Structure 1
Amino acid sequence: MIRFYYYHVVYVGLMNIMMLVPALLISHRFSGGVSAIPLAIAAGTLIAYLTSSCFQRFPGLGLPEIFDRFLPRWLACFLNGIGIVIWATGGIIVLYSYSNTIGLFFNPETSPYINLTIMAIACIWAASRCSRSVQFTNEMLLILSTPMIFWILLKAMLSPWLDWDAIWIVANQVTKPPSAISFYAATFVFSGAMNATLFNRLTKPGYKLRYRWIIPLIGTMFLLVSFFVPIGFHGTQAVGNYLYIWSVTTDCLIMKYGFIQRVLYLFLLLYTLLSLLFVMNTWHTAMEFFKACFRRYPPATDQPRVPAVNWYVCIALAAITFAYAYFTNDLRNRILSEIWLVSRFFIEVILTALLLLFVYMDRRSKQRRRAPPKSSGNPASKATGS
């Protein structure tokens, strides 16, 4: 089951492109965005290490069950409600952003709601499955898409049109004081570790999460590539003129084999799978947090039949997405993405602190159970001895 943990680390790191993290960092490239990256790597790695260590102490338990074990019921439901908002909002932002990107680059004349409808139906069906089915879907979609995505990233880094002088100019801005918003956004690359909040239910007692040194390597690679490669293609000034910066960047690449010459089409096809994967996981997590607020829905990782409540919750999330698409635009979506990225960081810090507290409470309770009972003095024996 260890590999499933790293699947979440990989696809969330790749999804930082759809969460507009590179565009936000690039907008602060001369005002602290570069110096924020190493700080984000350190903070994200620390949070990932702490949370993974804490969840190993509670095998087979998701975060809602851990809340119920150590907190009052009302407080556990309140924290579950925060989880619903954070995870559901992330899926809504990605679903809107990607359906809008598809419309812009493939067929601008088509109504944006057509793409949104098709993707929403797929997400409703996938997110409503049981947790084990969602895990297996993660594996299949990542095996299909990740090799080609890594090939595109490698092709971009080795491209003769990549201007290393522009990259070097921006990299020299590392001496500027770090930007707070850039720091919060850059830590999102490491947020895949937080998906254990729900999928820790699938772990077995005694499991050990090995090879955690992979987390900083993957996160650092995704951050540096997604930030510096667009600068190398578009220059230090023009790179700030684009919102969906990686869609424009991949359109600069050309394939000399196959009937598809523009890499953009292959890139968007692959990120269709990743976007559906991200929304499936976030909506599924939000759905399980919602069900955890009610005693009538005990946690279950395997369900032969999909409960009706799963359909209701996922359809409600899709309806909220359509309402969001109706009232928003690219500018508002970017502002909300920034707010979500900042809020997500503080929620992760709070959850990490709570998990450390729960581990401490669990150790204390086990020590009390193991400690031998204190022997009390026997007056009769004292009198006999005297």
Structure 2
Amino acid sequence: MNRYFYYLVILCMLINTIVYVPRVLIEARYHGAITAIIIAIPLGSLLAFLFYRGMRSFPGLGIPEIFKQYLPAYLRFPILVFLGIMWFAAGSIVVVAFSHITLRFLNPNASLTNMVLCFVLVGCWTATFSSSAILFGLEIILLIALPIQGFIIYKAFQNEAFDWNAVLAMSEYVLVIPSWDTLSAATYLFTGYISILQFNRLFEWKKRLHYFWIIPIAGISISFNTFFIPIGILGTLAVDDYLDIWVNTSDSLRMQYGLIERVVFLYLFLYIGLSLIFITTCWHVGTELVKSVFPKQPKFLKWVIVGTVGAGTLLYSHFFNEKQLYHYAQQWFNLRFAVELLLVTIVFILGRRKKHA
């Protein structure tokens, strides 16, 4: 099942256009965004490789079982709960962000609360599935999504309005040193590998992870397409006027002889599926992490956990607007990057200790 390792990484790469990564990078296009992308590709690939090496030393074990072997309860429990909250926040950001996008482009007359409630109910239900069922669903959705994503990128580069001069103009800012905010957003594309801290229970690692080159190659392609296509379509200055940059970019594309003329509908159809499987994955991992701190785990416990997260997501969408959501998403990127560096270091060290014990 090693292929699911790549699926988790690619899912996070594809979902980045929903969680405001393009917005953060576009705002920093004159202040180190290109440099951040260039740094993020080898750094993210390295972190993924180190985390894989660490988890490979514990076949059939998730992070709760690994921490139970090496950490006392007073450290293990708060760390697992904190990691669970981080995963819940990742799913909640996508729920609220995509609900706003759906209202704006598909059904402006609907209620935001009702829209969020629909995504929350589906996410809570599917998050309680078994880990293997979620991975199988992820595989099916990616097999459908990847050709559609490739077609959208093809249509973007074939568009007559695509301005290569706008793309080439950004080369003047290649050597600008990026900020922590920009680097955190750029590295988010590779974060999907962290989910194996739960799904490692199902993996059967071989001595060598074949086709690891897929991760940096996919990172290069998706990172630069995410950043440069909106600039080429919308322009270096006008691109700053949009919040949902990739939705507006796809809305400028047309399929002259297609059954659906506006590419934006194809884009939204694609990201409904990707958003739901991403929410499912995040909330499933978060539920398993939080559930592991309880000595007794009745069947209804996971429903209590996901129900609490769903209620919190509804309250979050009600009391905060899109501008505030974007601000908190930026802060989450920064915190995630720091936690990711620390977690990879810990798991790699524990894996080395287990190997040489």
TM-score of the aligned structures, taking structure 1 as reference length: 0.90
In the other structure, the counterpart of 1:358 is 350
Write the distance in 1 (CA, Å) between the matches of 2:206 and 2:146: 30
> 5+ residue gaps in structure 1?
298-305, 366-386
In the other structure, the counterpart of 2:165 is 165
Distance 1:205 1:53, change over 3 A: closer
In the other structure, the counterpart of 2:301 is 309
Distance 1:168 1:205, change over 3 A: closer
Write the distance in 2 (CA, Å) between the matches of 1:346 and 1:146: 30
Query: Percent of aligned positions with the same letter in both sequences?
Result: 34
Check if 1:342 corresponds to 2:334.
yes
In the other structure, the counterpart of 2:312 is 320
1:184 and 1:345 in contact (8 A); partners too: yes
Greater mean alpha carbon deviation, residues 278-287 or residues 213-222 = 213-222
Q: How far does residue 208 in structure 1 lie from its aligned partner after superposition?
A: 4.0
Q: How far does residue 205 in structure 1 lie from its aligned partner after superposition?
A: 6.1
In the other structure, the counterpart of 1:186 is 186
> 5+ residue gaps in structure 2?
none
Check if 1:197 corresponds to 2:197.
yes
Amino acid of the residue matched to residue 88 of structure 1?
Answer: F
1:113-124 equivalent positions in 2, closer than 5 A:
113-124=113-124
In the other structure, the counterpart of 1:381 is none
Amino acid of the residue matched to residue 350 of structure 1?
Answer: L
Amino acid of the residue matched to residue 309 of structure 1?
Answer: L
In the other structure, the counterpart of 2:58 is 58
Write the distance in 2 (CA, Å) between the matches of 1:123 and 1:207: 35
Greater mean alpha carbon deviation, residues 25-34 or residues 175-184 = 175-184
2:35 and 2:176 in contact (8 A); partners too: yes
Distance 1:197 1:271, change over 3 A: same
Q: How far does residue 146 in structure 1 lie from its aligned partner after superposition?
A: 2.1
1:38-86 deviation line (CA, Å, top 9, x unaligned): 1111211110110011111111111111111111122111110111111
In the other structure, the counterpart of 1:303 is none
TM-score of the aligned structures, taking structure 2 as reference length: 0.97
1:156-184 deviation line (CA, Å, top 9, x unaligned): 12322110000111132102222221111
Alignment size in residue pairs: 357
Write the distance in 1 (CA, Å) between the matches of 2:136 and 2:36: 35
Q: How far does residue 360 in structure 1 lie from its aligned partner after superposition?
A: 2.8
Larger radius of gyration: 1
Q: How far does residue 192 in structure 1 lie from its aligned partner after superposition?
A: 1.2
Distance 1:220 1:206, change over 3 A: closer
Greater RCO, 1 or 2 (C-alpha within 8 Å, sep 6+): 2
Write the distance in 1 (CA, Å) between the matches of 2:191 and 2:268: 23
